[in-house]
Amino acid sequence: MLSRRGLMVTAAALLGALAASRAEAAETLRIGYQKSSTLIALLKTNGELEKVLAPLDIKISWHEFSSGLPLLEAINIGSIDFGADVADTVPVFAQAAGAKLAYVAEEAASPSAQAILVATSSPLKALADLKGRKIAVTKGAGSHYLLLAALAKAGLTFKDITPAYLPPADGRTAFVSNNVEAWVAWDPFLSSTIRQSGARVLADGSEGLASYKRYYLASADYAAKHGDALNVIYSKLVETGRWVKANPAAAASQLAALWGIDAATVEEANSHRSYQVGAVTAAGLSEQQKIADAFLAERVLPAKLDTSALAIWTPKAP
């Protein structure tokens, strides 16, 4: 017969074995994000997603990307499961590359959160002045479509400019070094550059140029099999978006440390974003087809796309 001490040791060993077994059985959710993925950045820092996913035996591994297109490419090749968050243009390019994706959530339009910047002393005063200029832009980003739409409004095409396809950090370097004559940026890079270098906004997404919605996506396979996990994530995104808008100073203080940007600049950047997270609907994706057709007309995309072909995951009512 085991002694009391022996029973305690045996029980402890069993509990340890059970914990180890659960740890081995726990599934890992691989989340990709960008520096501009505000809501996910906050959830990553405060550990809230790990906490609410733990009852589902789901762990998280985090993977940072420089921009949205490589993030969705990573979903396409199976390196990550969930992407948070990317501009509206990005899923179009990913779909053109054959990615099997599912829309999970969207942020309502934030047209002033991206803009075409020029130096304060620049002679460029109107969109037509972009003709013949070298312009930095991130390929496949929402800013790419903003530039295309701005050129079209001025009666120009991409053939009328010299695009310099650069990720955000390199685009900023080229801009402040005067190696390009304009830069198409999004927040927080946009507000940071304006405040630090005195850049001037030539045009943003307002006046119908580009709505600039941001989307959260998963691989189609993950969305089909893990609705329970996505429901938890969706609820946390909605909750966090509301908190950011209701507590701008507190949110800016937390993000300032993460982004290496002063809190005042972060608060300014956040004021441009809606952070209103909601379910994706077919009707709400109408601009996606417009974006795809615009890039096709410029021969940036190789063939016509039916953007409604991507799956839409729908959250369950609480």
Neighbours of 200 (CB within 10 A): 16
Q: Are 205 and 146 in contact (CB under 8 A)?
A: yes
Nearest CA to 154 out of 177, 180, 133 is that of 133
Percent of all residues in the chain with a pLDDT value above 70, rounded to a whole number? 92
User: Residue 18 has what pLDDT?
Assistant: 38
Domains and CATH numbers, the chain: 25-109+214-312 (3.40.190.10), 111-204 (3.40.190.10)
- Whole-angstrom Cα distance, residue 245 to residue 271? 8
Which residue reads 């709505």 in tokens? 211
User: Residue 92 has what pLDDT?
Assistant: 95
pTM for this entry: 0.86
Q: Are 92 and 305 in contact (CB under 8 A)?
A: yes
Positions of the chain with pLDDT lower than 70, given as ranges: 1-25, 318
To the nearest whole number, what is the mean pLDDT of the chain?
Answer: 91
**pLDDT tens column, 277-315:** 999 999 999 999 999 999 999 888 989 999 999 999 999
Q: Are 146 and 250 in contact (CB under 8 A)?
A: no
User: Residue 318 has what pLDDT?
Assistant: 63
**pLDDT tens column, 8-43:** 444 444 445 434 444 455 799 999 999 889 999 999
